[in-house]
Amino acid sequence: MKNHPKERRRVAILRSDEIRDMNIDEMKAKLMELRSELARERAVIASGGSLENPGRVRELKHSIARLLTIIKETQKKGGARTSAGSM
């Protein structure tokens, strides 16, 4: 089956199963990393520069949302995978 010419396959920066394999501390570190990368991309846009990959901003936002969702799910379950106890 052929893909529609306008249809593009998106590759997630961070997949859900990769996130679920992390502990809370690793998730928070990755969240900070992604947020700082998104801030850099937005700064380039604001300064009038051109992005190497404009779709990267959208993927960063999706990955941040995915990460936050899984962090919240983990906290609701009781945070069984935390490495340093409570947050």
Q: Which of 51 and 9 is assigned the larger pLDDT?
A: 51
CATH of domain 16-77: 1.10.287.310
* Per-residue pLDDT tens digits for 4-34: 555 555 566 889 999 999 999 999 999 999 9
User: Average pLDDT, whole number, for the chain?
Assistant: 84
pLDDT band at 59 (very low <50, low <70, confident <90, very high): very high
% of residues, the chain, pLDDT over 70: 76
Q: Tell me the DSSP string of 23-82.
A: -HHHHHHHHHHHHHHHHHHHHHHHTT---S-THHHHHHHHHHHHHHHHHHHHHHHT-TT-
Q: What integer pLDDT is reported at residue 87 of this predicted model?
A: 44
User: CA-to-CA distance for 85 and 79, rounded, in angstroms?
Assistant: 8
Residue recorded with tokens 């992005």:
51
Provide the residue ranges of all domains of the chain, joining segments of one domain with +: 16-77
Longest dimension (CA), the chain: 49
Nearest CA among 75, 45, 68, 74 for reference residue 57: 45
Structure tokens belonging to residue 40 = 């850099």
